[in-house]
Amino acid sequence: MLHPSYNELIEAVNKNTEELTGEDAVINSRYSIVIAAAKRARQIIGGEDAYIPTTSGKPLSSAVQELYRGAVNIVGEEDIAEDQIEDL
C-alpha cells in the first residue's frame, strides 16, 4: 500500500505550493500527482541525488517522499520561462 495516500500527497503538495507562492492548488487530480512523482523518479534514476534519504532505496519511493515533505515543488509549464523549457 502506498503511503502517503494519493489524497494526503495532493494535500501536502498543494499546501507547500500555497505557502511558497501564495497561489491556489497546483494539483487537482491523482493523474497529476502520478505524473509529477514519475518525472521526479526518472530524474533520480537518471543520476540526480535524492533530496531526502529513504530506507527503501527505490526511486519512486524517494520521489513520493520528496513531494510529500516539500523538498520538490511542482510548477506548471506556464510558470517556466521559454529558455528554461528548451533546457528541459
pLDDT for the residue 23 = 64
- For residue 11, the SS3 value is helix
Residue 1 lies in a domain: no
- Do 27 and 36 touch, CB atoms closer than 8 A? yes
- Do 26 and 77 touch, CB atoms closer than 8 A? no
Q: Per the structure, how many domains does the chain have?
A: 1
Q: Is the confidence at residue 86, as pLDDT, over 60?
A: no
The more confidently predicted of residues 75 and 59 is 59
Residue 77: give its domain's CATH number: 3.90.940
Residue 35 lies in a domain: yes
Q: 3: which 3 cell numbers? A: 503511503
Amino acid residing at 38: A
Cβ contacts of 51 within 8 Å, gap of 6 or more: 66, 71, 72
What residues make up the domain containing 27?
6-87
The more confidently predicted of residues 32 and 2 is 32
